[in-house]
Chain A
Amino acid sequence: MSNASELLQLDLQLTQGKFHLQCQLNLPASGFTVICGRSGCGKTTLLRCIAGLTRAQGAVRFKNIDWQHEKKFLPAWQRPIAYVFQQPTLFPHLTVRDNLLFALKRVPPAERRISLDDAVNWLGLENLLDRKPNALSGGQQQRAAVARSLLANPALLLMDEPLASLDIDSKLEILPYLERLRSQLGIPVIYVTHAPDEMSRLADQLVLMEEGRVLAHGALNALLTNPNLPLTQHQEAAAVLDAVIEAHDAHYHLTQLRVGSAVLLVPLSPLPIGSHTRIRILARNVSIALDAPLHSSIQNCLQAKIVDIQIHQQEADALVRLAMDDAVLLSRITRRAVDQLQLQAGMTVYAQVKAIALIPH
């Protein structure tokens, strides 16, 4: 575990009616941490307790500074946190510019690392500054709310399903901004969501919650591919791998990605060559062959080693974990196929993925 000066340490208990939050967690105070779990599992409550908006029992410690313990409770407005809510909470009587200035004015000049112009450029608000919130679309409002939270120059940014209230177009409009935030800003973010695509695009580490407790936390792909966690039981069970764009094929409209030592073909990506991206590979789109197939329409064939096989006698399918270099891939195939191919842990096999089934982020 890393140094305490780089951690957000939580030890919180809260009872609200029938709901109990019981949470002991040390999170790295860097990168993008996604908290996920079903609705009602306490994600938002946990976030509000970190912020000090809801008062829980216990302790919150950020980079060796106590925000809360038995004898102390730093009020929300004194915590160096910014919060993006599910609904864009712009102040309706102020223009976008004045909303942004509301945040900036309350930061002592010496602590201002992000200027108004930076935030406006970052979130593409140039043409919206003089408008009132009710003259903006939902997506535009949420972009302004994100900009406002950045201007508070927070040491920690909390985001509570910021895309949940938006339509699909607005979501797609904002996600790239959030990805830039993740890769360029250097503010630790704790992000609540239950959308798999947001999780796989944004998360460095994942916290899985269930009924007010932390079920697991760790690196994204380690949790996604851990057969003991409910994530792998899901129809949408998938592995998320880091990839680099290596080449574009304009003729066939394909992009070549490098994942570790392997190469994957995917539908053409708009990203420039050399850029880092991620690829989400659904377990049900991965098939297994014992030999490298010679005549197949399937474009991607990766050599991998079977880590283990999860079999449920009552079900048709089995979940095979495959190791490729350091990365782990999931494959969901029938139990019958496991028996026919006599698959066992330790075997070297070929994982096949249709290029068309892959969407690079």
Chain B
Amino acid sequence: MNTGDLSAIWLTLKLATTTTLLLLLIGTPLAWWLTRTRSRLAGFISVLVAMPLVLPPTVIGFYLLLAMGPHGVIGQFTQALGIGLLPFTFTGLVIASVLYSMPFVVQPLQNAFDSVDKSLLDAAAMLRANRFDAFLHIVLPLSAPAYITAAILCFAHTVGEFGVVLMLGGNIPGATQVLSVQIYNHVEAMQYSNAHWLAGGMLLFSFVVLSALYSLRKSGGLRV
């Protein structure tokens, strides 16, 4: 393994961790809103959130590249803020990953929130707990297993991301050159043994993650 590989592993872990933490923060209120709202907007938002499940990653990457580019909506906004353009930066990758992995967090959380017995919320309200209080002390603890599922799925999904990264991030060492891209580089350069190290590592990683997930689910703690 060379320094490029190590830096790719480090970058991948950083990207997956950042994305997971951000998505748990964003996904919680979003999933709760989707569970509780009667707004017509909810159906539309649900579809948007689920889009990455069916769209090819390159399509998402392509549109994000356009949107974040100098003539795109996001691009003009970030330029106006003085941040500059986001494509080919780590921040751009984080934003793309958040959108790309969103269904893997929002859907388990929404399922868990939905399955919390509504009469428990009525009971909490009758014990002087306001909605936030009831969410914090009743809904969150009862949904703890779903948070583990969501975090594992989101992390693993981000680690495996390739198409979006290639379209939006390119291949810049230390900034956007993640593991999956690095494997691609090795294969392109016919460095099969290097590719083996990384690909084999990914294989092992995926196996361990899924084993953990399934054993958790078997013990009754999880629904995905």
Contact = CB atoms under 8 A, between A and B. Distances in A.
A87 B119 contact: yes
A89 B120 contact: yes
B128 A77 contact: yes
A263 interface: no
Given A91-B138, A102-B137, A76 B119 contact: no
A224 interface: no
A319 to B, nearest CB: 41
B95 interface: no
Nearest to B128: A106
B81 interface: no
A276 B189 CA distance: 96
A77 B122 contact: no
Nearest to A79: B126
B142 interface: yes
B127 A85 contact: no
Contacts of B120: 89, 91-92
Interface in B119-134: 119-120, 122-131, 133-134
B137 A51 contact: no
A77 B123 contact: no
A90 to B, nearest CB: 8
A91 B117 CA distance: 10
Contact of A76 (B117, B125, B137): B125
Nearest to A154: B126
Interface in A74-101: 75-78, 81-83, 85, 87, 89, 91-93
B122 A53 contact: yes
Given A91-B138, A93-B141, A152 B128 contact: yes
Contacts of A148: 127
A152 B119 CA distance: 17
Given A89-B120, A93-B142, A83 B129 contact: no
Contacts of A152: 126-128
Residue among A93, A107, A149 with max Cβ neighbours from chain B (10 Å)? A93
Nearest to A102: B127
Contact of B126 (A82, A91, A107): A82
Contacts of A85: 119, 122-123
A190 to B, nearest CB: 13
A137 B137 CA distance: 24
Nearest to A85: B119
A103 interface: yes
B137 A77 contact: no
A91 B120 CA distance: 7
A53 B125 contact: yes
Given A91-B120, A93-B141, A93-B142, A51 B126 contact: yes
Interface in A47-71: 51-53
Contact of B129 (A51, A92, A106, A149): A106
Contacts of A81: 126
A258 B215 CA distance: 68
A101 to B, nearest CB: 11
Contact of A83 (B117, B126, B130, B137): B126
A52 B130 CA distance: 13
A327 to B, nearest CB: 37
Contacts of B131: 77
A82 B127 contact: yes
Contacts of A92: 120, 142
A76 B131 CA distance: 10
Contacts of B119: 85, 87, 89
A274 to B, nearest CB: 37
A77 B117 contact: no
Contact of B122 (A89, A91, A93, A103): A89
A77 B130 contact: yes
A85 B142 CA distance: 20
Nearest to A53: B122
Given A93-B142, A148-B127, A152-B128, 20 more contacts: A52-B125, A53-B125, A75-B130, A77-B130, A78-B128, A81-B126, A82-B127, A83-B126, A85-B122, A89-B117, A91-B120, A91-B124, A92-B142, A93-B141, A102-B137, A106-B127, A106-B129, A106-B133, A107-B128, A152-B127
Interface of A: 51-53, 75-78, 81-83, 85, 87, 89, 91-93, 102-103, 106-107, 148-149, 152
21 contacts: A53-B126, A76-B126, A77-B126, A77-B128, A77-B130, A77-B131, A82-B126, A83-B122, A83-B126, A89-B117, A89-B119, A89-B120, A89-B122, A91-B123, A91-B124, A91-B138, A93-B142, A102-B127, A102-B137, A106-B133, A107-B128
Interface of B: 117, 119-120, 122-131, 133-134, 137-138, 141-142
